[in-house]
Each structure stands twice: as structure tokens, then as C-alpha cells.
Structure 1
């Protein structure tokens, strides 16, 4: 049973564009706050009901004392808890680890569509970690220390450059960095191969894999791989870093996602409605 979860909701600020709500799933080290900065309100302004939540042990959710023991399956259970309050299949948008949670959710559940932002690929983190260790050993070491000691100021410069583009305001970047927290050791082990994704392309909803072309954490090659593995569409963005929903050009990512949803969800729903009416 899930602990009490921190949940945020926004109703469409204008005429609803879609009856299908969007549920945002955050990545490792963060909480619902990463969506609340921009995406939650922006997509509500586009006509969607939007929901963000903090996984157990993160943000304002319960379970903090046992966070290091939480598994990816526990996080999937948290997502199930939130979706069950909606009474319908949502659009799922997940970042990094959140994209992996969505993939695990789709093993047993349906969704209207899924957007995987700089997502951990189906096979987990082994490939991305190996690529990082080879090409960016300083960043690889600092990711280790982030998990070991949390967001210490000594880690801010190098990790900050991997998470956010240089043109984002320094004070804003520092605020975001200070909100990071250590992740569940068990969940990280699950993504290192202990709990891989088993999905078949034959029964998946429309999926978009979107990434940053120069992402140092989830490399663009792996975004392409995820798209091919899942039969998904793929978009790579320039001039944006790993934390796309917080970066200076976050709206570029949001706009691309909204365009994709228009074509792959809204237009298909409208077409189905017209056929039903006829």
C-alpha cells in the first residue's frame, strides 16, 4: 500500500482541448516540484487537466524514513494510486527515472499515450553509466557523490552543467540544485539490471522519446535506442540539457510535446468522436 502522496492538480485554464488528463512522473533525486515550476501550468493553459505527484520518500510524500528501500515496483504502485483517482487512461509524461517507471507501468496497464523525456532506456542504466564513465569520468564520480552525500555545494558546478544549460540564471540553478535529495539505493539497483523492462511493441500506446542532443546523463544514442526498442517517435533537441522541464528553453520541449500530443492523441480522439456521432 502506498504511503500518503503529495499530489498537485491544475484544471484547464481555458476550454479543454482534451478530456484525457496528463500525469507527470518525476525522475531520481527530485519531486513533483520539478513539474510545478513550468509544465504543470503550461499544459493546463493548453487545455489539459494536469497532475504531478511526488513518489514515496520524495518531496512532501510519506515514506521518507524508508526511501532507501523503495523499489521501482513501489514507484509503479505510487503511479497506479494516482491513476486510479482519475477513472480513465491518462497521458503519461516521465523524465529520466520517471520514464523508466512509466515503461514498467505499461507492462501491466494501458495509457492513452506516453512521453519519455531523457528516459532511462528499457535495459536500464548500465549503458549510460558506462558511456559516462568513459567520456565524462568527472561527472560519473560526482553522480556517485550526489547519491552518497546529497546536493553538496562542492558538486554544484559540474553537476549543474550536466543538468542545466549555462544560460540559465545562476541563482535559479542553485535553487533547483538545493532541492535535490538522495535516491533509493534499491531503485537504482533495479535500474542497473535487477528489474528490466519487458514490453512488446504490439500492444503499446503512442510513445514519444524526447531527449537532449548533447545530454551527458542519458545520451542521445540511448534516446534513439529507446525509440527503436519501443517503436516510438523520437525527437532530439539542441541547446538544452538533461533537466529539460527546468532548463532555460523548457518551453521548446513543452511545445514539441504538445505538438506531438495534438497529432497522436487529440486528432485521433476527435476522429473517433466524429465517427461515433455519424
Structure 2
């Protein structure tokens, strides 16, 4: 039996822009709270139904006592459960590990569109970890200790600089860091090659793959690689770090997604209308 999930929802303000709800999937070490800070209300105010949930063992969801045993397939099951409550085809938006979960979900399900933000690439974490170990060995070891002991204060400064811009790392970043939690070791193992992505370019929906140009965790080269694999639209955002939905320039990220959605959802709706008319 699946644990009870924490779910945040926002109804669209004014006339809805789309019949497709935006479903946000968080990354490792966090919970739905990372979307609740800015994105849920921002997109709802622009006419979208927005939904974010905490994966089992994260945030306010159940299953915390078994979190270390949770697999990527378990997280996909959580996403399936949330989507089933909507009764509509969603637009899926995932950050980091959440992007990996979305790619696994799309192997067996459809979506109206998908946005991968600083996402773990389809080949998993091996390349990004190797690049980090060579270029930023101090960060590599801090990430190891985050998994081993949780958000200890000794790790805050270096991880803060990887996640957030200096201007907010000492303010909001202090609060955000304290809300991090260890991730399922099984899920991390899955992303290290134990549960690879088999989604193909032909199976993928309309997709935007975006990243932070100076991301030290999921490097820009890997963002470009993921976009190329899926034939997806591609965007790199300047002056922002890995935690793209929380960092100082989060609104630049949101605006990029909004502009893309407006073009893609409208063009897809017109295409469907033309087919119906024919």
C-alpha cells in the first residue's frame, strides 16, 4: 500500500489559460515545499492549475521510516497516483531527480508536455558525478556527506554556494538548507545505472530541457546532451544556480517556462483543432 502523499494545489486565477494542470516533481533531499515558495502561486496567478507533491518519505508525506528503501519506480508510482486524481493529461515539470522520475514515468504514460529543470540526464548520475569529482572535488565530498549525515552545519557554506546565489545563500538559503533531508540510497543507486531510462525521442512529448549555465551539480554539457537525445527545446539560464526554483533569479526561470508553454500548448491545441475539422 502506498503511503499518503502531501499535496499542494492552487487553482488558476481568472480565466484558465490551459485545461492541462502543471504537476511539479521535486528533486533529491527536498519536498514539495520547494515549489510552494514561488512557482505554484506564480503560475496559478497566470491562469494555470498547479499541483506539487512530496515523494514518499519526503516533506509531509508518509513512508519516512522506509525512505532509504524507496526506489525510482516507487517515486514513479507516487507521480502516477497524483496524476490519476486530476482526470486530465498533465504538463510535467521536474527538477534534478524529479526530472529523472518524469523520464521514467513517460516510458509508460503520456503527458501534454514536459519541462526538465537541471535534470539528471537519461544516462544517470555517473557522468555528472565524475565531472564534479574532477572539477569540484570539495563539492563532490560535501554531497557525499549530505547523503551520509544529512544537512549538517559544516556542509552549509559549500552546498549553499552550489545551490543558491551568494546574495540569498546567507538569508533564505539558511532556511532552505535546514529543510533538506537525506535521500533514499536505493533511488540514488537507481540513478547510478541500476534503473536506466529507456524513453526514446519518438515517445517523448513536447519537451523543454533547461539548466543553469554555471551549475556545478548537473553541468550544462549534460543539459545540452539531454535536449539533443529527445530533440527537445533547450534553454540555459544565466546568473542562477542549481536550485532554480528558489534562487534569486527564479522568476527568469518561470518566465522562460511560461513563454514556452504558451507557444507549445497553443500550437498543439490548434493542431488538434485542425485534425478535428478535417
TM-score by length of 1: 0.97
Q: Secondary structure at the match of 2:202?
A: helix
Aligned to 2:97: 97
CA distance in 1, matches of 2:211, 2:86: 28
Cross-structure match for 1:210:
210
Do 1:11 and 1:48's aligned partners in 2 also have CA atoms closer than 8 Å?
yes
Contact 2:160 2:169 in 1 (8 A): no
Distance 2:152 2:41 in 1: 30
- 1:156 corresponds in structure 2 to 156
Structure 1, gaps ≥5 residues long:
none
Q: Which runs of 5+ in 2 are unaligned?
A: none
Within 2, Cα distance between the matches of 1:37 and 1:273?
36
Correspondence 1:236 to 2:236: yes
Task: Give the drift of 1:276.
Answer: 4.1
Deviations 1:107-164 (A, max 9, x none): 0000000000000000000000000000000000000000011111110100000000
- CA shift, 1:277, in A, is 6.6
Partner in structure 2 of residue 5 of structure 1:
5
Q: Distance in 1 between matches of 2:110 and 2:220?
A: 27
Q: Distance in 1 between matches of 2:241 and 2:48?
A: 26
Residue pair 1:2, 1:81 contacting (<8 A) in 2 also? no
**Alignment map for 1:8-87 (pairs within 5 Å):** 8-87=8-87
Give 1:188-267 correspondences, 5 Å limit.
188-267=188-267
Distance in 1, Cα, partners of 2:248 & 2:259: 20
Query: 1:121-200 residue pairs with structure 2 within 5 A?
Result: 121-168=121-168, 170-200=170-200
Mapped partners of 1:61, 1:169: distance in 2: 27
The separation in 1 between residues aligned to 2:240 and 2:274, in whole angstroms, is 39
Contact 2:161 2:169 in 1 (8 A): no
